[in-house]
Structure 1
Amino acid sequence: MKIINARLRQKAALHTLEIDNGVFSAITEQSAELSAGNGQIDAAGKLLCAPFVEPHIHLDAALTAGEPNWNQSGTLFEGIERWSERKPMLNEADIRRRVLKTIELLVQNGVQHIRTHADISDPTLVGLKTLCSLRDELKDRIEIQVVAFPQEGLLSYPNGLTLMEQALEIGADVVGGIPHFEYTRELGEQSMKTVIELARKYDRLVDVHCDEIDDPNSRFLEVLACEALFNDMGERVTASHTTAMGSYDNAYCSKLFRLLKRSAINFISCPTESIHLQGRFDSYPKRRGLTRVKELNAAGINVCLGQDSIFDPWYSLGNGKLLRTLDFGLHICQMMGYRDFQSALSLITDNSARTLNIQARYGIEVGKPGNFILLDGEDDYSVVRNQRDVLLSVRDGVRIMQREPARVTTPNWIDR
């Protein structure tokens, strides 16, 4: 496969790229625009980018909003209650149908790597088993990591720890946690230590729903970061949400950031979900309810953005478009300066790949897998501003999705 007239991120010139045996074999700067020959892909000056990465989604719950009841308050905790009502209806066929439909949405929008959480607060573990099975079946078309996620608590849910170990034995890629949902502070702190112990025992990654609450006294992040630091695991550890950080005072955060930088842990923010779920106890002034994405990014701490949900008990919208999530995130986090726009796509590409610990085989470089997407724009700024569709997605040198650019007919009165 040969692609000509492609623009690359942070580079002014057009480039030609070649993929042989599923791997980038050559990337060459062009001195002028080229004419396409037989079998060549003409990027026509569009931006060729590493694939989008969805670092945080709940595929087992996708497309279940309103089944059997809607989340009328829109709160996080009612969402958990509504999901508890839906769980008895779960079976392999139900999960497979919804997950495949959701993955199709993601692929249509340029995603080639997914980290999904699977609720293991279920003695049957049907969600986790089904997602692990689909991960293996689809591995040649899309990469999936499965998180064993104890939605109702690792230590507070009956046999939660046993279920976690069973999930890891079955083949979950990542150890999850939810310390702020444990019954007591002590159980929350112990759960963070247990998560790290399990990750070391089973040689797995870690991704914790950490401090997803407005309570400024919810400070399990410092425990997670400290355990990651002491066990030299930071790059393999992720703190998702950390929305309580938006309620921490600056004096505490100045101390906390020192630990976070030393620990080298990763962060995921889900802006559309957090702006909707958090701040529910506020009248006015009302908190945004997000973690400090802008400040983490400025401090050189790895942070990325995810969708979290698509039409489920916690979020009844969503369409698989990470560019939409990025757009929301830049607005909500007040990252609206031109410098922010110039590197904005990193929040859903490179930073996310680092979070999933796949950076060694990710990116537009000779010798790496021939995976890329073609975006309808010339650079990060134009792609984010115009919010157009992904035009092409190629994995290992094979096209997995393609669409034509939208065509618009201009009314006659504009020509006048």
Structure 2
Amino acid sequence: MSTAPRVGQAVSALRGVRTADGEPVDLHIDDNGLVTELRPASPAPAAGGELLLPDWLVLPSAVEPHAHLDKALSWAATRAPYGDLLSAIDAWRRYVQTMSEDDVRRRARRALGMYLAAGFTAVRSHVDLLHDTEDPLRGVRAMLALREELRDVLDLQVCLLASYLVPDMLIEEALDLGVDVLGGCAHLAEDAAQETTRLLDIAQRRDLPVDLHTDEQLDPSMLSIRELAREVSARGMRQRVTASHCVSLGSLGTQALSEVLDEVRAAGLAVVTLPITNLYLQGWQSPSPMPRGLTAVRELLAAGITVAAGGDNLRDPFNPVGRADPFETTSLLVTAAHLDARQALHAVTDAGREVLGLPAGGVRPGEVADLVAVRADDLLDAVAGPSGSRVVLRRGRVVASTSVDQRTAVDPGPMPAWRSA
């Protein structure tokens, strides 16, 4: 890199980069943060405002469509056991009795720094409405404060996660604070159809997008997504409606799955798959063979349904690991969901922007210059997990820069002097 990037720097061009197709180009950006044109790479030195990144791969920046920033990085504090969804819920419920608003904001801010460094410029975070505590809105307030603090750095959408036990009045109070999206877990209620109706009624009254945790378990008879699809179709909802998880779809037979997908497509639902957390949480009690614990990703795509992918939980009771890295998700999509490199990249970029209702971003002229440049040989190399060296742009401005200097004893050049004869 002959022109070092500075965080906050406005970039007029990325010089000598390669597109996902491997084409060497100079990518030009205007003062409004839009890509204006791609030209064949020029050997001329970089001018002011230009970054010379020879042979780096430039890709659309990533979108995390489903995070839980109020829980992020809480694994040690919660003293959670390794286990399934119910054990994670129990550990979290114990911890929130002592959790402060400052604690939420501190952990979430640190997590957002990790997301940004890895190449995310947009995040949708669900946040619990803590109805059974003295201050049920503290997590919501913390997330909304971060949204305002960081609005010039990344797009943060706050999605209210309302349990079926939460009364309407408390949901309305939280929405009055300025929440972006209404979410919930209808499939956990005794009457999933009734809870779906309640949440959609509130969303329509408030004109809010909807993102529901849906069928987050392996039982193929649990298909609350059908009720969601039917309700959305019957109402003619113009708001974006997303079903996250949808794990039970992955356990359906071919004919039954085809019928459900027809309803999902007709309703215009988007689906978010969350491989790392679902692979961790699902199947602990299942007899051999161990189920895969993912939704029917390939079948959803074949049906023409928008499928975005994310990481879900980050080092908390629901997932003790994770790197807040889009390329961790893409690698899992190739390995566990059997997608190819382009499908995997689309799931963490363009599809995520569609779910969040963001304008198109990427390398094509007219798109928002939300970009990540990585050191990778080709697209599959990037999707598998590139080196840590990255430059992240949001609307044409550098928001993160990471440089890794890695050397090993097998690098080209003379053998080390200490090698044995």
Contact between 1:2 and 1:16, CA under 8 Å: does it hold in 2? yes
1:190-339 equivalent positions in 2, closer than 5 A: 190-233=194-237, 236-335=240-339
Distance 1:58 1:413 in 2: 44
Which of 11, 14, 31 is the equivalent residue of 1:3? 14
Contact between 1:236 and 1:355, CA under 8 Å: does it hold in 2? yes
Contact between 1:19 and 1:25, CA under 8 Å: does it hold in 2? yes
Aligned to 2:144: 132
The sequence identity of aligned pairs, in percent, is 27
Distance 1:288 1:343 in 2: 19
Determine helix, strand or coil for the equivalent of 1:21.
coil
Compared with structure 1, are the counterparts of its residues 303 and 211 closer, same or farther at alpha carbon in structure 2 (3 Å cutoff)? same
Distance 1:318 1:412 in 2: 29
> Which one-letter code corresponds to 1:209 in the other structure?
H
Aligned to 2:352: 352
Q: Which has the higher contact order (CA 8 A, sep 6+)?
A: 2
Distance 1:24 1:18 in 2: 9
Q: Which runs of 4+ in 1 moved over 6 A?
A: 412-416
Deviations 1:138-165 (A, max 9, x none): 1111110011102xx32xx1x4322222
Which of 83, 88, 103 is the equivalent residue of 1:94? 103
Determine helix, strand or coil for the equivalent of 2:97.
helix
Aligned to 1:363: 362
Distance 2:387 2:239 in 1: 33
Distance 1:407 1:268 in 2: 35
Contact between 2:15 and 2:53, CA under 8 Å: does it hold in 1? yes
Aligned to 1:119: 128
- Aligned pair count? 400
Distance 2:343 2:225 in 1: 27
Distance 1:132 1:382 in 2: 36
Tell me by how many angstroms 1:330 deviates.
1.7
> Which one-letter code corresponds to 1:383 in the other structure?
A
Aligned to 1:176: 183
TM-score by length of 1: 0.90
Tell me by how many angstroms 1:202 deviates.
0.9
Compared with structure 1, are the counterparts of its residues 6 and 235 closer, same or farther at alpha carbon in structure 2 (3 Å cutoff)? farther
Structure 2: gaps (5+ residues): 1-11, 416-421
Tell me by how many angstroms 1:412 deviates.
7.8
Tell me by how many angstroms 1:219 deviates.
1.1
Tell me by how many angstroms 1:33 deviates.
4.3
Tell me by how many angstroms 1:235 deviates.
6.8
> Which one-letter code corresponds to 1:356 in the other structure?
L
Tell me by how many angstroms 1:207 deviates.
0.5
Deviations 1:257-277 (A, max 9, x none): 111121121111111111111
Tell me by how many angstroms 1:12 deviates.
4.7
Distance 2:406 2:81 in 1: 39
Determine helix, strand or coil for the equivalent of 1:23.
coil
Contact between 1:234 and 1:265, CA under 8 Å: does it hold in 2? no
Compared with structure 1, are the counterparts of its residues 82 and 136 closer, same or farther at alpha carbon in structure 2 (3 Å cutoff)? same
Compared with structure 1, are the counterparts of its residues 41 and 414 closer, same or farther at alpha carbon in structure 2 (3 Å cutoff)? closer
> Which one-letter code corresponds to 1:144 in the other structure?
L
Distance 1:229 1:310 in 2: 34
Aligned to 1:85: 94
Determine helix, strand or coil for the equivalent of 1:144.
strand
- RMSD after superposition: 2.1
Structure 1: gaps (5+ residues): none
Distance 2:117 2:332 in 1: 20
TM-score by length of 2: 0.89
